[in-house]
Amino acid sequence: MENRKLLEDSAHYLLQTYNRFPLVLRKGRGMKVWSSDGKEFHDFVGGIAVNVLGHCHPKVVIAIQKQAQRLIHTSNLYHIEPQIKLAKLLVDNSFADKVFFCNSGTEANEAAIKLARRYYHEVLNQHRFEVVSAINSFHGRTYASLSATGQEKFHKGFEPLVPGFKHVAFNDIDALEGALTKETCAVLLEPIQGEGGVRLPDPDYLSEVRRLCDKHGVLLIFDEVQTGIGRTGKLFAYEHYATTPDIMTLAKGLGGGVPIGAMLTTDKIAAGFQPGSHAATFGGNPLVCAAAIATLDLILEDGFILDQCRRMGKYFRSKLEDLKKEFPSLIADVRNMGLLVGMELTRDGAPIVKTCMDRGVLINCTSGNVLRFLPPLIVTEKEIDHLAEILEQIFDNLS
């Protein structure tokens, strides 16, 4: 009765911007969540790559509790201790020298785009403003990040978009070079396209992009909102490809469940922003930074979680490859890097997502026919086996 009332109130009071499942999640621990009517689910969505340590990891919860007792919020007019410590942690473990904090991935990408344009205008005194991104990319829902997103379905009804954005095929270095002009300030790419269907680059593609950017004097921005914070088995996906960006954006997994975004860059590029250039009222708030510090400390501690991610990524792929051999008419491809996992189907994936939910497992579908799995990095073989068994039962009924 209570569950039904909650669903009715949701429909009545909330703007209907999501195709929500009729499910109210009330509690989570590790890999599991429970609904308001008491049903248990294995969560292979992970808040869409957010809950990297699972739900309510004790050390993250304690960090939030302690910080909430000390100081929840203060303005960026003043120095914020957890923000300074988090920035140092990110700089010490990346290519970057400086960090700007905000509240989400789309805000981080907005900051990156603004910095790229302003760097050429203020530091180099050049009129460069164009940003080249990839078809099937996803960079956010605010106007500049939406304009950078290479999927027309997200643009529909919001035109005119922000001028100065081009889209070229992902993995096509010739197409990218053909799009660069004297007005191009940046190339913006996800190292692995997440929302676009877990599309991995060719082994040399990103290094070739770096070479092109250097050749044409263009900045390289990596959107690691989904791929960062251990998701691929390294702290950042760019580490797999031995290619360093000029700017990187983070969010999702950074806070272990609380909303935080970050833009990282070098001292050289950071000179494009001065006091008053950009800001975020809640950016780098003490509470979220405390949660992010606890999350990063756990991921970096003795490398166990990153190693677990790599091992479980290989195991996960092997289980899905077994299913592909068993059901070749239903499964077209299996792709992954660590625990960013995609299974491309030969049919619509939405009914399979619904059937999995009915059987107590939460999964996701993107690009219409790609089942996407983004479990916490603490997932075990037993939990992957459980999912594989359910998928096998579903595919068996479809074949």
Would you name the residues annotated as active-site residues? 138, 223, 252
Residue 33 near residue 22 (C-beta atoms within 8 A): no
Q: Other CB atoms closer than 10 Å to residue 239's CB: what's the count? A: 15
Residue 163 near residue 192 (C-beta atoms within 8 A): no
Closest CA to 231 of 314, 341, 101: 341
Q: Other CB atoms closer than 10 Å to residue 15's CB: what's the count? A: 5
3 state SS of 271: coil
The Cα-based distances of 65 to 70, 259, 290, 294 in angstroms read 9, 16, 10, 12
Instruction: Tell me the C-alpha distance between 353 and 355, whole Å.
Output: 6
Instruction: Tell me the C-alpha distance between 383 and 372, whole Å.
Output: 16
Instruction: Tell me the C-alpha distance between 24 and 4, whole Å.
Output: 10
Instruction: Tell me the C-alpha distance between 157 and 150, whole Å.
Output: 15
Instruction: Tell me the C-alpha distance between 183 and 253, whole Å.
Output: 34
Q: Other CB atoms closer than 10 Å to residue 235's CB: what's the count? A: 20
- Phi first, then psi, for residue 98 (nearest 5°) are -135, 155
Instruction: Tell me the C-alpha distance between 162 and 144, whole Å.
Output: 6
3 state SS of 187: strand
Question: If you ran DSSP here, which 8-state letter would residue 55 be given?
Answer: B
Instruction: Tell me the C-alpha distance between 335 and 192, whole Å.
Output: 11
CA–chain centroid gap for 360, Å, is 25
Q: In what order do the strands lie in the sheet with 331-337?
A: 331-337, 340-345, 370-373, 364-366
Instruction: Tell me the C-alpha distance between 388 and 327, whole Å.
Output: 13
CA–chain centroid gap for 274, Å, is 28
Instruction: Tell me the C-alpha distance between 59 and 45, whole Å.
Output: 21
